[in-house]
């Protein structure tokens, strides 16, 4: 997903940076506003201690709100450093070992494997409200039986349909959907982003899992490093890609990238598309409804569920303060609500009021899709998969021999993971 929109993000941020050079402050320090009497009342005066938290642009206001009450009650300073979401992973990996890293960073759960292998994260305790976290979110931040992050939101892609063209009913299968799309008279029954020539295994994944070809074999809920998308199921999916690709039916095409896809859907030229909650802003001109992805191969179409989480650095000098901040100031209904209001993805915490979102009904649809999803693998091996996987899908859609291309990808990928 981040691979998909990475470039869009690069450009968008660069433009934003250029445009906002004058107003852009990369580092924002919220000054402690605790008065002497308040800190005395709480009996805590951590004045002079400073907690560094890395956040991205979307999450900054919400974390700021949680930090304000923390600062007021403890006297400690919370220094929020705003970074590009995509930079957080590599910066955390490279800066924690040097001692320059933050005490806490936000991040995606699928970075966890690399973080653990590189020894940059500490385990956390979810605290008194542990039972309020959704199970899928807690599972996602669990690595080798230990909890390494405090989750706050989840996300998954889903089927988005133009209600003016095809109504509100969720199609049961891929064929039903295509038929409904064709009957609607739209230019294209279905659009899906392939990131152009690059390929996009993330967006295609629910369709792949409907053939029973998970990217890694799962054992008792957690992923092994054994590639699971080979064999007959994988070949069947490859064949399906080819049949619906540019040399076949043409429903899948490498000419469609993220922006093109959203524009086609927004202009009513596509009856259905598969997208995540982050794309809803692009669909201002059409009436749409969000449903789970229909099955193409007979099994449940399970999208990747991504979880956004707080990580504590293993080299933090302020581990006690950092845990205090997370368990008593972030894992609270108020802070979780603030996080949701700032960036309405699916909450990972029970009791969050989702009606504040711009598209409350869409959130329900994404929730339904996420409920049938699988966590994105957080094992470090996943980082090697994308390039091979995306490229193979792109080639097959463009008309390469499906089974041969797919099996070569499996062989190369397996070799790369072992080497």
CB neighbour burial string for 377-416, b if at least 16 within 10 angstroms, e if fewer = bbbbbbeebbbbbbbbbbbbbbebebeebbbebbeebeee
Judged by CB under 8 A, the residue of 194, 386, 406, 410 near another protein is 386
Instruction: Specify the stretch interacting with another protein by CB under 8 A; choose among 22-30, 140-148, 176-184, 345-353.
Output: 140-148
Strand extents, DSSP E, 89-235: 104-108, 121-122, 142-143, 146-147, 149-156, 158-162, 188-191, 216-219, 222-227
Say how far apart CA 143 and CA 365 lie, in whole Å.
Answer: 28
Judged by CB under 8 A, the residue of 1, 66, 76, 293 near another protein is 76
CB neighbour burial string for 306-318, b if at least 16 within 10 angstroms, e if fewer = bbbbbbbbbbbeb
Residues 254-313 that bind another protein (CB under 8 A): 254-257, 259-260
**Does 71 help bind another protein (rule: CB under 8 A)?**
no
Instruction: Specify the stretch interacting with another protein by CB under 8 A; choose among 56-64, 179-187, 314-322, 349-357.
Output: 314-322
Least Å distance, CB 317 to another protein, is 6
Q: Which residues, including other chains, have CB under 8 Å from residue 108's CB and lie 6 or more apart?
A: 2, 89, 306, 307, 308, 309, 376
Residues 319-348 that bind another protein (CB under 8 A): 319-321, 323-324, 327-328
Least Å distance, CB 412 to another protein, is 4
Residues 223-262 that bind another protein (CB under 8 A): 253-257, 259-260
Residues 112-131 that bind another protein (CB under 8 A): 114, 116-120, 122-125, 127-128
Number of neighbouring beta carbons within 10 Å of residue 185: 9
For residue 27, the surrounding DSSP H or E stretch is strand 27-29
Judged by CB under 8 A, the residue of 277, 394, 402, 406 near another protein is 394
Judged by CB under 8 A, the residue of 251, 349, 388, 406 near another protein is 388
Judged by CB under 8 A, the residue of 27, 33, 57, 144 near another protein is 144
**Does 203 help bind another protein (rule: CB under 8 A)?**
no
Judged by CB under 8 A, the residue of 69, 176, 383, 403 near another protein is 383
Instruction: Specify the stretch interacting with another protein by CB under 8 A; choose among 41-49, 134-142, 152-160, 175-183.
Output: 41-49
Least Å distance, CB 355 to another protein, is 32
**Does 67 help bind another protein (rule: CB under 8 A)?**
no
DSSP string, 350-382: TT--GGGSS-HHHHHHHHHHHHT-EEPP-STTH
Q: How far is CA 200 from CA 10, 38, 275, 304, in A?
A: 17, 53, 12, 13
For residue 28, the surrounding DSSP H or E stretch is strand 27-29
Residues 80-109 that bind another protein (CB under 8 A): 89-90, 93-94, 96-97
Total count of residues recorded for the chain: 419
User: How many residues touch another protein (CB under 8 A)?
Assistant: 76
CB distance 201 to 397 below 8 Å: no
Residue closer to another protein, measured from CB, 30 or 253: 253
Residue closer to another protein, measured from CB, 11 or 217: 11
């Amino acid at each position: 997903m981040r691979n998909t929109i990475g470039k869009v993000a690069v450009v968008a941020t660069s433009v934003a940076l250029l445009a906002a050079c004058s107003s852009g402050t990369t580092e924002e320090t919220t000054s402690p506003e605790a008065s002497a009497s308040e800190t005395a009342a709480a009996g805590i005066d951590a004045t002079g201690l400073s907690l560094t938290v890395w956040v991205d642009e979307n999450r900054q206001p919400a974390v700021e709100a949680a930090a304000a009450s923390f600062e007021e009650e403890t006297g400690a300073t919370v220094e929020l450093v705003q970074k590009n979401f995509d930079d957080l992973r590599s910066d955390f990996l490279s800066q924690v070992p040097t001692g320059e890293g933050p005490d806490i960073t936000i991040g995606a759960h699928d970075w966890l494997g690399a973080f653990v292998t590189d020894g940059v994260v500490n385990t956390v305790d979810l605290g008194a409200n542990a039972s309020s976290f959704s199970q899928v979110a807690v599972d996602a931040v669990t690595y080798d039986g230990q909890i390494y992050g405090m989750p706050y939101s989840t996300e998954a892609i889903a089927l988005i349909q133009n209600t003016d063209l095809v109504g509100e009913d969720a199609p049961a299968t891929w064929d039903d959907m295509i038929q409904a799309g064709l009957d609607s008279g739209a230019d294209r029954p279905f659009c899906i982003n392939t990131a152009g020539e690059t390929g996009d295994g993330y967006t295609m994944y629910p369709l792949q899992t409907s053939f029973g070809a998970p990217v890694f074999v799962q054992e008792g809920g957690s992923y092994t490093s054994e590639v699971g998308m080979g064999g007959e199921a994988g070949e069947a999916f490859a064949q399906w890609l080819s049949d619906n690709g540019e040399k076949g039916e043409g429903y899948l095409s490498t000419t469609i990238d993220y922006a093109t896809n959203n524009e086609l859907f927004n202009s009513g030229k596509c009856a259905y598309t598969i997208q995540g909650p982050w794309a809803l802003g692009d669909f201002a001109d059409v009436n749409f409804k969000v449903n789970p992805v229909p099955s193409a191969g007979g099994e449940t179409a399970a999208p990747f569920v991504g979880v956004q989480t707080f990580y504590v650095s293993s080299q933090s000098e302020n581990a006690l303060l950092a845990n205090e901040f997370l368990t008593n100031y972030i894992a609270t209904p108020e802070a979780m609500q603030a996080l949701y209001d700032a960036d309405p993805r699916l909450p990972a915490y029970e009791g969050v009021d989702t009606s504040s979102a711009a598209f409350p009904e869409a959130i329900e649809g994404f929730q339904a899709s996420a409920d049938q999803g699988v966590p994105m693998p957080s094992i470090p091996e996943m980082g090697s998969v994308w390039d091979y996987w995306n490229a193979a899908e792109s080639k097959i859609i463009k008309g390469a021999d499906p089974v041969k291309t797919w099996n070569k990808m499996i062989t190369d990928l397996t070799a790369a993971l072992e080497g």
